[in-house]
Amino acid sequence: MGRHRREVLATLGAFALPLIVPRQAMAHVKPGNRDVLLVVDVQNCFLPGGSLAVKDGDAVVPVINGLAPKFRNVVVTQDWHTPGHASFASTHAGKKPFETVQLHYGQQVLWPDHCVQGTEGAELSSALKIPHAHLVIRKGHNPGIDSYSAFVEADGVTKTGLAGYLKERGIERVFITGLATDFCVAWSALDARKAGFDVIVIEDACRGIDLNGSLAAAWKDMEAAGVERTHSAEIM
């Protein structure tokens, strides 16, 4: 190895170590005025005992309650279906929950009846303590169109208005928590990216349904779209 090459390597070595330190320090995030905490669908139907219970779904509640005071801006979503909604298996003769059907906008997973407008099951968990949340956005209220995403209905065109609201408030970064990781959390995260926001999913503040590998697929899609993931302990 020539003298020049050794010197170059020595110089690179000297730079490599300090580069590692700030990367670790950057893991901590202190939310500010341009950040919002999005709390997705923490509703009785998705909690143990509910009609579409997410395994261990209630575990997200204390995590979200601990995170919420750290955010000045908090938005909560509610899945809010009409009776006889197109996403319910009971609406389609001969169909069972977790089968699929072709609707005008594409393939739709069919679910047990859940989160029907005005019912106990559609209520936010009473254990959720976020009195300062300033917007509750209800989605899936179009009888013929589902909406996993808090931003755009499943037809891919009908907007909920959330992106416009956040932009008018000067929000640039969306931290996502709630249920279910592989459906409403993931679709909201992907649409938030499409709308131009930075997106961070707080992993331990979410739980998934995992239908036919949907959880791994959702993380893969989110990663490909530039969605970051972190842990609640990193939020200061």
Q: Does 191 bind ligand VGL (CB under 6 A)?
A: no
Per-position DSSP letters for 71-116, written without gaps between them = -S-EEEEEE-BPTT-TTBGGGSTT--TT-EEEETTEEEE-B-S--B
Q: Does 197 bind ligand VGL (CB under 6 A)?
A: no
Task: Tell me the window of 30-38, 55-63, 74-82, 222-230 that interacts with Zn ion (CB under 5 A).
Answer: 74-82
Q: Which is nearer to Zn ion, 154 or 174 (CB)?
A: 154
Nearer to Zn ion, 96 or 132 (CB): 96
Work out which of 35, 58, 79, 113 binds ligand VGL, going by CB under 6 A. Answer: 79
Per partner kind, with CB cut-offs from 5 to 8 A, the member of ligand VGL, Zn ion, none near residue 179 is ligand VGL
151 binds ligand VGL (CB under 6 A): no
Nearest CB to Zn ion, comparing residues 187 and 219: 187
41 is catalytic: yes
Q: How far apart are CA 94 and CA 224, in angstroms?
A: 37
Nearest to 178 by CA among 189, 163, 164, 166: 189
Q: How many Cβ atoms sit within 10 Å of the Cβ of residue 119?
A: 16
Residue from 71, 80, 88, 111 touching ligand VGL (CB under 6 A): that is 111
Should residue 79 be labelled a site residue for Zn ion when binding is judged by CB under 5 A?
Answer: yes
Give the interface segment with Zn ion, choosing from 79-87, 116-124, 196-204, 228-236 (CB under 5 A): 79-87
SS3 string of 164-209?
Answer: HHHHHCCCCEEEEEEECHHHHHHHHHHHHHHCCCEEEEEEEEEECC
183 contacts ligand VGL (rule: CB under 6 A): yes
Whether 204 is catalytic = no
Stretch that binds ligand VGL, among 59-67, 100-108, 179-187, 195-203 (CB under 6 A): 179-187
Q: Which residues, 6+ apart, have CB-to-CB distance to 147 below 8 Å?
A: 139, 140, 141, 153, 154, 158, 160
Residue 157, both tokens: 């065109």
Total number of residues that touch ligand VGL (CB under 6 A): 9
Strands 106-109 and 100-103: antiparallel
Pairwise CA distance, residues 192 & 163, whole Å: 7
CB closer to ligand VGL, 36 vs 179? 179
Which residues, in sequence order, are CB contacts of 33 under 8 Å at separation 6+? 72, 73, 170
Name the residues that contact ligand VGL, by CB under 6 A: 41, 46, 79, 111, 148, 179-180, 183-184
> Which positions are annotated as active-site residues?
41, 139, 184
Name the residues that contact Zn ion, by CB under 5 A: 79
